[in-house]
Amino acid sequence: MPTLDSAETQRAFTGKLGAEEDPSRGDHHFYVFRVGTTVVATTKISRGSRHTISDDLVARMARQLGVTSNALSQAVACSLGKTAFHRLLAAGVPFKQRPRSG
Amino acid sequence: MTTREAFRVNAQALSDETVVSQEYSGQSQFIAGARKGAQRQRVRRSPRGQQQQPSGQIQVVIQQAKDGTWIADDSETGQFGVGASADEAVRDLLTTLLEYRDVLRTRRHSLSSSLAGDLRLLERRFAEDG
């Protein structure tokens, strides 16, 4: 199960993967992923000093993005490019696909 | 993961990191002070014995990871909180949910249907929190 370095992940999200970082100054960095103009997924990383994101949390982040942990890890590590990653985002099943009312 | 417990956390009147109450195995306990007069709520049961989620409550699953940290999951939005204790993880989750709501609000008109559903859910949950 992959782990990720928080600083590398933040750089990858806003750099090569094209996410926008929400400018609010809360306890967490939120990253917003768009396909075209539509926001399709978000994920977050805790603020604070550089740290290792555990495999448990990588799995949750990946699930929020609708990709596998391995795909997320590969995207951060550059072995999966932006185009391929965005194709996964577009095709991926978001965290939950249950009908909602309201 | 070594421990898995389901709590219901009252999200009503949540602000200033106020975590109101949790209910587990029929017993409620405060995990942080309620600053805005929020009260404990009992989990209602339907005639068939199934639990119903009262308005403003979140079902939270708390697990302890192999490294000893605690993770609190909101199964409806996929958001999670992390902490050195279960209470800390729940507090982090609730902070996360408020931040997540605000992230979605500022992009309200460009959300996918799934994320728009999350926003509607969070606005219902935190209806008293601006």
For B82, which of A22, A46, A102 is closest by C-beta distance? A46
Mutate to test the interface with A, among B17, B71, B93, B100 (most CBs of A within 10 A): B100
CB B93 within 8 A of CB B79: yes
Do A64 and B76 make contact, defined as CB atoms within 8 angstroms? no
Instruction: Look up residue B2 and give its two tokens.
Output: 């070594």
CB A7 within 8 A of CB A50: yes
CB A18 within 8 A of CB A12: no
Q: Does the reported pTM lie above 0.80?
A: no
For B17-72, the pLDDT digits (tens) are 334 444 443 333 333 333 333 333 333 334 444 444 555 678 888 888 988 999 99
Instruction: Look up residue B78 and give its two tokens.
Output: 């996929």
Query: Strand, helix or coil at A37?
Result: coil
- Whose structure tokens read 């909180």? B81
Give the DSSP H/E element, type plus range, for residue A13. Answer: helix A6-14
Residue B71 bridge partners (DSSP): B63, B82
Report the mean per-residue pLDDT for chain A: 90
Integer Cα distance of A22 and A33 in angstroms: 11
Among all residues of chain B, which has the CA nearest to that of A102? B120
- Residue A25 has a pLDDT of 85
A63 close contact with B: CB closer than 8 A: yes
- Residue B74 has a pLDDT of 93
Taking contacts as CB-CB distances below 8 angstroms, the residues of chain A near B69 are: 54
Calculate the alpha carbon distances from B8 to A11, A60, B22, B67, B120 in Å: 36, 20, 5, 25, 19
Query: Strand, helix or coil at B123?
Result: helix
Residue B34 bridge partners (DSSP): none
Backbone angles phi, psi at A72, to 5 degrees: -65, -45
Helix, strand, coil share (%) of chain A residues, nearest 5 = 35, 25, 40
Integer Cα distance of B23 and B17 in angstroms: 18
A30 close contact with B: CB closer than 8 A: yes
For B78-121, the pLDDT digits (tens) are 999 999 998 899 999 999 999 999 999 999 999 999 999 999 99
Interface of B with A (CB under 8 A): 1, 65-67, 69, 71, 73, 75-80, 82, 92, 95-96, 98-100, 102-104, 106-107, 110-112, 114-115, 117, 120-121, 124
User: What interface predicted TM-score (ipTM) does this complex get?
Assistant: 0.90
Residue A33 bridge partners (DSSP): A41
CA angle B46, B47, B51 (to 5 degrees): 25
- Residue B59 has a pLDDT of 82
